[in-house]
Amino acid sequence: MRVVFLLLTIITLFSTSLYAQPKERISTERPVPAALVIPDSELASPATLSHYLSAHTTSRKEFVRQLYSWLVWNIGYDVTNMYNPDYYKDTLDAALKTLKNRVGVCQGYANLYYLTCKEAGIPVHLIGGYTKTYNKIDNASHAWIAVQVDSTWYLTDPTWGAGVLNNNKFVRKPVDSYFLVAPSAFVQTHMPFDPLWQLLEHPYRHDEFQEKFLKPVTGRAVFNYRDSLSTYDSMKDDLLKYQLVINRIEGYGITNQMISHELMYYKNLVRYIAENRKVAAANRAIDDFNRSSNQYNRAVNLFNEYVQFKNNQFKPSRPDSEIKEMVNAIGRKLADSRKGLAGLDRGEVAIRGNISELEESLGSLERKVTEEQAFVDKYIRTGKMFRKSLFYKTTWMGIPVN
């Protein structure tokens, strides 16, 4: 008996249309320093890019600086696929396509930045949310980066740093305004779905983000994002981790479809993980049951061999110790089988009936084995000249005498 394990793969974190480019820039934005000239041979993957930057920079800050500069100077916005979220299938796929084609949507920019930093061991997170341009909520979700440099968390958006869209055409205008930005400033235009990624002790609610300018929050309990982030990074239980994400998102309000979509994604993810765990538990129970059943079947085979040997009056002759071991070995197999059953979840519907049947069979064979162990002990205690008589039932007036 075998239950097929339910394998559910969540393709990508942000599956809505990804397009969140400001329409134009103001003249006071800081220009981006020239980027390193990186050989094409080092641009095959985020890993090769990361290794090159590690070899040509001397600190984490210089690493993330050169990475940002290279991205905004060399990657254009993929206008063709900005409304085609299925084109970028997952984190690595988006990064590889962005490297290969030298264009990408925010997924491509952010995923490439994320994987390159991760390969170098730099603390980094990929953030999903939505944006605000000129006090108006943009109509699509967006992706950016949280990165830790010198023990401080900053936010970076290489997509917005690369340029603008003008009449659905990408215009490269690299600016430094979206590189290593303090969370309190970044939240004026970028709102993560999960308030944890505001990286603020007083996160804003989603309805507050709609205001023209976000004023400091007062009269609200401190949100210890450092502890929450540490817990998030160390948490091994994905089900609990994602449930906490759901709780945080719901706690800060659902004000648009993008938030609803993200919330539904995590709820589905939690449901899929829970279902997978149920199926995995059922499979483990079935595997354990099968092992117990196999031990029982081996015991049956050994018992049948013993019975055949006994029916031949223990011919051909064997040492007494070997005969005793024959029945004792059967007993050990049965004990192993029963031990396996003891640890099974009796509430598992798929094998509940099978457990009862196996227990009944075990009990029946255990009784027979106990009888045969007693017979063998008596056989060994009996003198060799009289042993043959033990294989015959002798009665006196209908009462067994041997």
Identify whether 106 is part of a domain: yes
Identify whether 4 is part of a domain: no
Distant-in-sequence contacts of 349-353, Cβ < 8 A, 24+ apart: 350/1, 350/3, 350/282, 350/285, 350/286, 351/1, 351/285, 351/286, 351/289
Percentage of the chain modeled with pLDDT above 70: 90
Q: Is 349 in the same domain as 390?
A: yes
Supply the pLDDT for residue 132: 93
Supply the pLDDT for residue 346: 72
Q: Is 256 in the same domain as 387?
A: no
Supply the pLDDT for residue 35: 81
Identify whether 391 is part of a domain: yes
Q: Is 117 in the same domain as 212?
A: yes
Tokens representing 83 are 């409304």
Supply the pLDDT for residue 16: 42
Q: Is 121 in the same domain as 259?
A: yes
Other beta carbons within 10 angstroms of residue 140's beta carbon come to 19
Sign of CA dihedral 89, 93, 97, 103: positive
Q: Is 46 in the same domain as 162?
A: yes
Identify whether 165 is part of a domain: yes
- Which residue range(s) make up the domain with 295? 283-400
Supply the pLDDT for residue 89: 75
Q: Is 287 in the same domain as 256?
A: no
Identify whether 7 is part of a domain: no
Supply the pLDDT for residue 15: 43
For 98-117, letters b (16+ CB in 10 Å) and e give bbeeebbbbbbbbbbbbbbb
As a 3-state breakdown, the chain gives helix, strand, coil percent values, each rounded to 5, of 55, 15, 35
Q: Is 138 in the same domain as 232?
A: yes
Supply the pLDDT for residue 276: 94
Supply the pLDDT for residue 33: 78
Q: Is 131 in the same domain as 228?
A: yes
Using one digit for the tens of pLDDT, what is the confidence trace for 151-178?
999 999 999 999 998 888 999 999 999 9
Tokens representing 248 are 């945080």
State the Rg of the chain over Cα. 35
Tokens representing 395 are 């009665």
Identify whether 15 is part of a domain: no
What pLDDT tens digit does each residue of the chain (402 aa) get? 223 333 343 333 434 444 555 455 444 566 777 788 999 999 999 999 999 999 999 999 999 999 999 999 999 999 998 888 788 878 899 999 999 999 999 999 999 999 999 999 999 999 999 999 988 999 899 999 999 999 999 999 999 999 998 888 999 999 999 999 999 999 999 999 999 999 999 999 999 998 878 888 888 899 999 999 999 999 999 999 999 999 999 999 999 999 999 999 999 999 999 999 999 888 888 899 999 999 999 999 999 999 999 999 999 999 999 999 999 999 999 999 999 988 887 776 678 888 889 999 999 999 999 999 999 999 999 999 999 999 887 655 555 555
Last residue of one domain, picked from the residues 249, 277, 305: 277
Identify whether 32 is part of a domain: no
Identify whether 194 is part of a domain: yes
Q: Is 179 in the same domain as 82?
A: yes
**Residue entry with tokens 């995590």:** 266
Tokens representing 309 are 């040997």
Q: Is 318 in the same domain as 248?
A: no
Tokens representing 310 are 């006994």
Q: Is 267 in the same domain as 152?
A: yes
Q: Domains in the chain: how many in total? A: 2
Q: Is 109 in the same domain as 228?
A: yes
Using one digit for the tens of pLDDT, what is the confidence trace for 292-347?
999 999 999 999 999 999 999 999 999 999 999 999 999 999 999 999 988 887 77
CA-closest candidate to residue 13, choices 187, 142, 199, 186:
142
